[in-house]
Amino acid sequence: MRIIDHFISGGTGTATGARTHQVWNPSTGEVQAQVALGDKALLDRAVENAKKVQPQWAQTNPQRRARVMFRYKELIEANMEELARLLSSEHGKVIDDAKGDIQRGLEVIEYACGIPAVQMGQYTGGAGPGIDVYSMRQPLGIGAGITPFNFPAMIPMWMFGMAISAGNAFILKPSERDPSVPVRLAELFLEAGAPEGLLQVVHGDKEMVDAILDHPDIAGVSFVGSSDIAHYVYQRGVAAGKRVQAMGGAKNHGIVMPDADLDQVVNDLTGAAFGSAGERCMALPVVVPVGEDTAERLREKLIPAIRALRVGVSSDPDAHYGPVVTPEHKQRVEHWIDTAEQEGAEIVIDGRGFSLQGHENGFYVGPTLIDRVTPQMKSYQEEIFGPVLQIVRANDFEEAVRLPSEHQYGNGVAIFTRNGHAAREFAARVNVGMVGINVPIPVPVSYHSFGGWKRSAFGDTNQYGTEGLKFWTKVKTVTQRWPDGSPTGENAFVIPTMG
C-alpha cells in the first residue's frame, strides 16, 4: 500500500513511528493509501529545520520573496490539471470544483506577489522636534497551519501564502483525509526557489495538533475546521502564549424576498447547496423564503431542479457533485436527515440510501430537500455538511434577519432581492461575518479577507488580505532623534575615504 509521507526540509522518507491513517477513494469506496501520522519528535525536527532557514528568509528583501511567489504561481498553473485530479481522487469533489479549490488559493498567492507594497511600513516625519517615528511589520518567526479536509489546496494557501511572503517559516498540518495535495504544494514551492525547510508538511491527528499547540518555538497558529475543535485549539494555543486564529463551522442562510428572481435563485441554490456535496463552509444549506407565497413558488421550482442533479464519480465531467469524503461522514449526513424526519420536518426529496450504479461502495448521498424546518429543531441548529437543503419559512423581513442573526454560527449569509433598500438594511443589521447580495457564496476576493462571526471563528483576525498580514506579523515602532552636531576631538566621526 502506498504511504503518503511527511515533507520535512525538502525531503520525503521521513516517516517515523508506526501509526498511519487510511486515505479513501470516496468514489469507489476503496482505501487507496495510508498516510503517516507524525509525533512530537517529528515536529521537533521540522521546527529545527525552520529555525535554520527563517532568519535569513526574513532578511531577504521583499522583492526577492515576491519573486519566489511569482514563480510559485506559474508552477501551480502549469500543474493545475495534475493537482486537480489528485485532489478530486482523495476528496471526492468533481474536477471543476477541485480546480476552483486550487484557483481560490492561487489568488492569495497572487496577492502575496505584491508583498513589497502590502508589508510596507508607516512613517511620520517631525513627530516632535527632530523626531521621526516609523513602524514596520516584522514576521512572527515560525507559523503553523492546521487545515480541514474540505479545501485541501485553498486553505493551506490562504495561510502559508501570507505567512511565508511576510518572512515566516511555515509548518502545515493538513487533514489526514486528503493529504496528498498539500505535499505537492510544498514540493512545488521548493521548485519555485524557496529554501528547504521554509514550507514543511507534517501529517497527523490530535497528537500532532497538540504538539504544535504546545511547541514553544511556534509563534502563531492558524486553524480551520469544526467549531468544537477550533475552540479547543484557540484556548490551548492562547494558553501557551501563541497568537491563534481558529475558524469553525457554519450554517449559512439564503434569504429569498418576495421580489427575488426565483429562476436565478433556484439556479444559485442548486450550486450553493449541493456543489461539492455540500462540504463547503460557505455552502447555503438553509433557504429562508419570506412569506408563504414565496415559499410555495420557490418549492415548486426547486423540486424539479434538485431532481435533475446528477451525482457521479468525481472524475465524471457531467456530474454536478461526487461522493462525500468518508463512510463515517455519509452516515453522519444520513443521521441528520433521520433526525429532521423524527423532529417533524417534511423530507421532500430523500437522498438516503443512494447508490451509484457500478460504484455501489462509494460514499454517495443523494440530493435532499427538507421543508417545514423550524429553529427549534436540532437538525437546523447543527451543521450537516452534506448535500441537504433545508427550507425555513419566515413570515416577514424581520424574522428573516433574526434567523441567521440568532444562529450559533455566523460565517456567511445571502439575500436575494431586487430591492436595494431591503438589501442594504439586511447587510447592515445581520449578525454574520460575510454577506452576499444576490451572490450565493460570498467568499471575499483575496485582497479583502475571510472570516465569520460567533462560533464560526475564534480570535480576532481574518484570513488573508491585510488581515492575514496582520496576523502573521507584529508591529515594531521606532522613535528616532538625531541630535545636531558631531563629536569633536578624538571621538570625531570621520567619513571613510577610498584608498
- Among all chains, which residue has been given the C-alpha cell 512530537? 40
Site for ligand NAD in 411-440 (CB under 6 A): 411
Helical residues (DSSP H) of 215-357, grouped into ranges: 227-239, 262-274, 292-307, 327-342
Q: Which residues contact 324 (CB under 8 A, 6 or more apart)?
A: 26, 92, 277, 279, 330, 333, 363, 364, 365, 386, 387
The set of cell numbers assigned to 262 is 426565483
Strand partners, 256: 289, 416
Sign of dihedral through CA atoms 25, 29, 30, 34?
positive
Which of 101/371 has CB closer to ligand NAD?
101
Q: Pick from 2, 74, 131, 206: which binds ligand NAD (CB under 6 A)?
A: 206
User: In this chain, which stretch among 78-86, 111-119, 171-179, 352-360 interacts with ligand NAD, using CB under 6 A?
Assistant: 171-179
d(CA 356, CA 12): 37
The CA distances from residue 387 to 181, 269, 390, 395, in Å, are 24, 11, 10, 26
CB of 164 to ligand NAD, least distance (A): 19
CB of 443 to ligand NAD, least distance (A): 9
User: In this chain, which stretch among 184-192, 243-251, 397-405, 413-421 interacts with ligand NAD, using CB under 6 A?
Assistant: 243-251
Work out whether 145 is an interface residue with ligand NAD (CB under 6 A). Answer: no
Contact 227, 409 (CB under 8 A): yes
d(CA 7, CA 15): 9
CB of 98 to ligand NAD, least distance (A): 15
Cα–Cα nearest to 50, from 185, 237, 200: 200
Which DSSP letter does residue 102 get?
A: H
281 is catalytic: yes
CB of 411 to ligand NAD, least distance (A): 5
Site string for ligand NAD, 444-483 (x = CB under 6 A): --------x---x---------------------------
Work out whether 153 is an interface residue with ligand NAD (CB under 6 A). Answer: no
CB of 422 to ligand NAD, least distance (A): 27
Residue of 154, 255, 281, 337 with catalytic role: 281
Work out whether 175 is an interface residue with ligand NAD (CB under 6 A). Answer: yes
Sign of dihedral through CA atoms 81, 82, 85, 87?
negative
Which of 109/229 has CB closer to ligand NAD?
229
User: In this chain, which stretch among 110-118, 182-190, 202-210, 416-424 interacts with ligand NAD, using CB under 6 A?
Assistant: 202-210
Catalytic residues: 281
Residues that bind ligand NAD (CB under 6 A): 146-151, 173, 175-176, 205-206, 209, 224-226, 229, 247-250, 281, 383, 385, 411, 452, 456
